[in-house]
Amino acid sequence: MKKSALTYLFLLLLTGCIYPFSVEKGEGEFSDIVVSGDILIGEQSRIKLEYVYPVGTFPTEMLKDFPEGTLTIENDGGATWKGKYQSKGLYTFETADAPASGRYRLHILSGGAEYASDWMGVKQSPSIHKLRADCDGNYVHISMDLDGADSLWNFRWDYDQTWEYHADYYPDLMFIPGLPERDRENPQKIYRLPTPEEDYYYCWSTAPSVEPGLASAEGQSVNSVENAHVLSISCGDMRISTLYCIDVTASGISSGGRAYLQHLHDLSNETGSLFSPTPSEMRGNIRCLSDPSLRAIGYIDAVCRTTARLFIGPEYYHMAYDPAQWLFYPEPDEDGMYNFDHFFGYASPVSCPDTPTKTNVKWGPKRCVDCRELKGSKNKPDWWPNDHK
């Protein structure tokens, strides 16, 4: 089957729609290229070049070699924007001042070959209405309405998530590891009060969308889409435990661009037809001008984008566990030694009702008192709307 010959690495790398994948290729030098990204009018554009790799190539091998060359965004009025190489195949273009009129294309000189996308008009940004959250008791469903501009009938969107969460407890005490052996069983030596700088109760974390959302109003009498589904989050998900924010960025897209991305989506989710083309066969709108035998896989659109933001509080959150069940009192070994340093390898002191002794300090997993254990950080966004630290 065709799908067995494909390896999919649909990993969002950057805002700007870059989804690398590998496709089947025979023996020999890598010459075919993959082009990812869009021409973004009114903001910085990001375009990435990669090679087509044989099935079975490890991702670490894919990160070793990237096509290099000269990339230029061209407007049919004569203006150009030259790409600046960053790293790992990524080029940026300062298109914040690019006009939303006229037609655009991407021009590539790489490996002695010349490539270009089709000329295309700019797809104006849609309007996002009623970005909202609804809960059915088990999941929070985030959706929105989209209105097209002029002749805009196809839409895509990506999103960035930011959420605040907190540890289960403020610790009453901190443990001091690595003391001389004579002090390791002395509660007055091994414990101390936490300092203000050791406040690891609140943390923040972020995550982008994994693949673009797509919708079409083609075949309808009006160019709008209602109830476009963005994301569903379990009511037991920590992301909505304190304060959650989603920034949805939507743009118009050409009919061909939507079909191309929808095809990749179907293949990645194994919902495409047995007779559907593979990504290498559905090449998109980029051609090699100097050598028709060379392939360029990808689809470039010129678009304007708009963003809407939604905050969700903890009102839908259902805690999926009881943190008190994780707490314990350290117990001595057969020689009567508590070996607190051993416990500190995976746990931390949590609570103590009075002067600490060997037996009255409750311990728990480090995540109970240190929010960083759940892969977040203390890097609070400047725009975050509360005073938590």
DSSP readout, 244-301?
EEEEEEEEE--HHHHHHHHHHHHHHTT-S-TTSPPTTTS-BSEEESS-TTS-EEB---
CA distance 160 to 238: 16
Per DSSP bridges, beta strands 302-303 and 120-123 are parallel
pLDDT, one tens digit per residue, over 70-110 is: 999 999 999 999 999 999 899 999 999 999 999 999 999 99
Could you tell me if 306 and 43 are in contact, meaning their C-beta atoms sit under 8 angstroms apart? no
Encode pLDDT of 343-361 as tens digits.
999 999 999 999 999 999 9
pLDDT 10s digits, 239-293? 999 999 999 999 999 999 998 988 888 876 665 443 445 555 566 899 999 998 8
Side-chain-side CA neighbours of 242 within 13 Å: the count stands at 18
Residue 195 confidence (pLDDT) above 80: yes
Q: Is the pLDDT of residue 188 over 70?
A: yes
Sign of CA dihedral 9, 14, 15, 20: negative
- In angstroms, the CA 273 to CA 267 distance is 9
Residue 131 pLDDT class (50, 70, 90 cuts):
very high
- DSSP H/E element including 75: strand 69-75
Say how far apart CA 267 and CA 279 lie, in whole Å: 9
Pick 32 or 364 by higher pLDDT.
Answer: 364
Residue spans of the domains in the chain: they are: 2-124+253-304
Per-residue pLDDT, 152: 87
Coil/strand/helix, residue 213: strand
Contact present, 143 and 226 (Cβ < 8 Å): no
d(CA 332, CA 344): 14
- pLDDT above 70: percentage of residues in the chain: 85
